[in-house]
Chain A
Amino acid sequence: MRLSSQTVEVVQALMNNGRTWSYGYDLSKATGLKSGTLYPILARLHDEGWLENKWEQSAEPGRPPRHLYRLTAVGSLSAKRALKTTVSKTRARGPAYEV
């Protein structure tokens, strides 16, 4: 899978959280990405099998359930491998994006 710099940011935020579930809004704050950029990335990661998600019922009545995300075992491995490739490519190209 081709990793854009924004996808790298999302993957890294998810990797930092390890096996802990993350909310979309928290990921948005951690990466600085707007919802319109973040959610297509999350959906694509899910399509590729890198991301698992679940719904969490809200404790407060009247509030809708929230979606939670974390990397799958396969996703975690693939992400590490892809990030390494991205870093080596970036280094070969010269000073640009640093992972």
Chain B
Amino acid sequence: MKEYLANALVKWLNRLMLTVLPSDRRDWGIALTAEQQQITDLRERLTWAAGGIFMSAHEWMRTLFSDRLVWLAGLAFGIASAVVDLNSTTRWRYVALLFVFGMILTYWRPKWAWRWIALLGLSLPAIVLITNNWGPYSVDRFDVFYGLVPCTVGALSGWGIRSASRRLPHKLTGR
């Protein structure tokens, strides 16, 4: 019974690892699980499988923060647009900026574009929270999150432009 449960747990850990691992690291996950066949000790096999979860977390973080330059640009864009919004009488400037910045960042790095949407869209709420200067948002504080909408639309546009531009040379050359 104990062995059955341990084996079930190992299988579950393996499956979880392969689900969470970024696609470019899947082979490494499969390689890790294949080695478990060589391990006879149940506890050691469990530790080996648990190591797979550690690897998934490590690789996930690596992928998440791999594009340092894009992160820095996103942070600068987010702060700039938040400052513009807090010092402007109209919201359209902020909306336009977020749309353009979302588009640029996603065009630049389309992988996991939700990172750029979150970074840009949450810059204003973060600044408002840190400085405790709610300004026009003191009436309805949830309004401060509205920037997420133009970011998402911008990101979708950036993704669309990138996809179209990748297809264009093939169409022109007929390949």
Residues of A within 8 A of B (CB): 23-25, 28, 34-40, 42-43, 53, 58, 63-67
Contacts and interface: CB of A to CB of B under 8 A. Distances in A.
B59 A40 contact: yes
A34 B55 CA distance: 10
Q: List the 10 closest pairs (A to B, CB-CB), nearest first.
A: A36-B54, A36-B51, A35-B51, A67-B31, A64-B34, A25-B35, A34-B51, A35-B48, A24-B35, A36-B55
Interface string B43-75: 000011111111100110010000000000000
Contacts of A37: 51, 54
Contacts of B6: none
A38 B54 CA distance: 11
Contact of A36 (B25, B35, B37, B58): B58
Interface residues of B, number: 25
Nearest to B57: A36
Contacts of A58: 37
Contacts of B25: 43
Interface of B: 25, 27-35, 37-39, 47-55, 58-59, 62
B37 A35 contact: no
Contact of B37 (A38, A40, A53, A64): A64
Contacts of B51: 34-39
Nearest to B59: A40
B35 A66 contact: yes
Contacts of A24: 31-32, 35
Contacts of A67: 27-28, 30-31, 34-35
B32 A23 contact: no
Given A34-B51, A35-B48, A35-B52, A40 B58 contact: yes
Contact of B30 (A23, A25, A43, A64): A64
Contacts of A23: 35, 38
Nearest to A40: B58
B112 to A, nearest CB: 18
B53 A66 contact: no
A53 B30 CA distance: 13
B70 to A, nearest CB: 19
Residue among B25, B38, B49, B50 with max Cβ neighbours from chain A (10 Å): B38
Given A24-B35, A25-B38, A36 B59 contact: no
A64 to B, nearest CB: 4
A37 B35 CA distance: 15
Nearest to A25: B35
A66 B32 CA distance: 9
Residue among A23, A39, A63, A64 with max Cβ neighbours from chain B (10 Å): A39
